[in-house]
Amino acid sequence: MEAESGRAGAEFLYFGQSVLKEAEKHYQKIASAIGHSSYQDPWLWDRRCAVYIYASKRSYLKGARMPGWSNAAASFENVPTIRAYLGADDFLGTQLPHEITHLLMRQFVGVGNASVPRWIDEGVALWFEESGRAREMDDWVSVEAAQGRHISIARLTGLSDPSLAPASPDQGLNQSVSLFYAESFSVVNFLMERFGQARFVELLRQFKKGSDVETALRKAYGASVRDLEALEQEWLRSLNVTRAS
């Protein structure tokens, strides 16, 4: 992180210290929760995670080459890297744990592992946030699902880019991106609440071993989640949504 001079510099420096302290705390908590053993690629010394905080959202979008709806990003460059901007809403409790989760989970399952659908990446990253926004998303997606406006889990699984999520004609891009994230959280939250964190770690282990998504779900959760269709039924039931057949 580079500090600028004057008042902005002091603000940066203070913020930087908070980022370090909070990042360490999130790292310990998330790494142990998702089974990322501390001796496998620990973020130490020259493998330390780099956090770049841009001075404004504009310079972040340009520097990180991200779409307008993005507030933070994680990537593997020479080291695990997080990019965000000064003043992002509740960065320390929201984006920071979110992006750390992305990096730890991807290191665990394999950075380029294409079997892990994006909704699992995003759902678990939202699950480790400390703000209340994920719970609000869950309430909203329940309402959408009750009216049949959710994205089928089979379709969700095929989406690698949230901005390609389907939207009805009266809904815009932001609405479909929001639905993608909300549903991702809701399904992961269902798996965590119904089956617990240990089985989620088993799901990630299955991915690490090379299982495809349905095999990984079946091996981690058994017959009730034997395929994507069964997962969708169980998830909808947990939201109190019964689908007309």
Residue 229 Cα distances to 102, 112, 123, 154, angstroms: 26, 26, 18, 7
Residue type (1 letter), 107: Q
Residue nearest to Zn ion (CB): 125
Binding range to Zn ion, per CB under 5 A, among 6-14, 32-40, 117-125, 159-167: 117-125
**Least CB distance to Zn ion at residue 169 (A):** 27
Q: Which CB atom, from 121 or from 221, has the smaller least distance to Zn ion?
A: 121
Helix (H) or strand (E) holding 50: strand 50-54
Q: Which CB atom, from 122 or from 144, has the smaller least distance to Zn ion?
A: 122
Q: Quick check: 73 binds Zn ion (CB under 5 A)?
A: no
Q: What are phi and psi of 108, to 5 degrees?
A: -70, -50
3-state class (DSSP) for residue 24? helix
**Least CB distance to Zn ion at residue 177 (A):** 11
Binding range to Zn ion, per CB under 5 A, among 36-44, 53-61, 120-128, 190-198: 120-128
Query: Could you give the CA distance from residue 172 to residue 41 in angstroms, rounded to a whole number?
Result: 41
Binding range to Zn ion, per CB under 5 A, among 40-48, 121-129, 131-139, 231-239: 121-129
Binding mask 27-46 toward Zn ion (x if CB under 5 A, else -) reads --------------------
Q: Which CB atom, from 105 or from 125, has the smaller least distance to Zn ion?
A: 125
**Least CB distance to Zn ion at residue 38 (A):** 23
Q: Which CB atom, from 94 or from 218, has the smaller least distance to Zn ion?
A: 94
**Other C-beta atoms lying within 10 Å of the C-beta of residue 180:** 23
Q: Which CB atom, from 125 or from 182, has the smaller least distance to Zn ion?
A: 125
β partners of residue 73: 83
C-alpha closest to that of 96 among 35, 49, 138:
49
Q: What are phi and psi of 221, to 5 degrees?
A: -120, -5
Q: Do residues 40 and 71 make contact, with C-beta atoms less than 8 angstroms apart?
A: no
Reading the block at residue 106, the tokens are 């991807």
Query: Could you give the CA distance from residue 225 to residue 214 in angstroms, rounded to a whole number?
Result: 8
**Least CB distance to Zn ion at residue 73 (A):** 8
Q: Do residues 123 and 187 make contact, with C-beta atoms less than 8 angstroms apart?
A: yes
Q: Which CB atom, from 65 or from 209, has the smaller least distance to Zn ion?
A: 65
Binding mask 186-215 toward Zn ion (x if CB under 5 A, else -) reads ------------------------------
Residue from 49, 51, 120, 125 that binds Zn ion (CB under 5 A)?
A: 125
C-alpha closest to that of 232 among 186, 175, 195, 178:
186
Binding range to Zn ion, per CB under 5 A, among 123-131, 150-158, 188-196, 222-230: 123-131
Give the interface with Zn ion as residue ranges (CB under 5 A).
122, 125
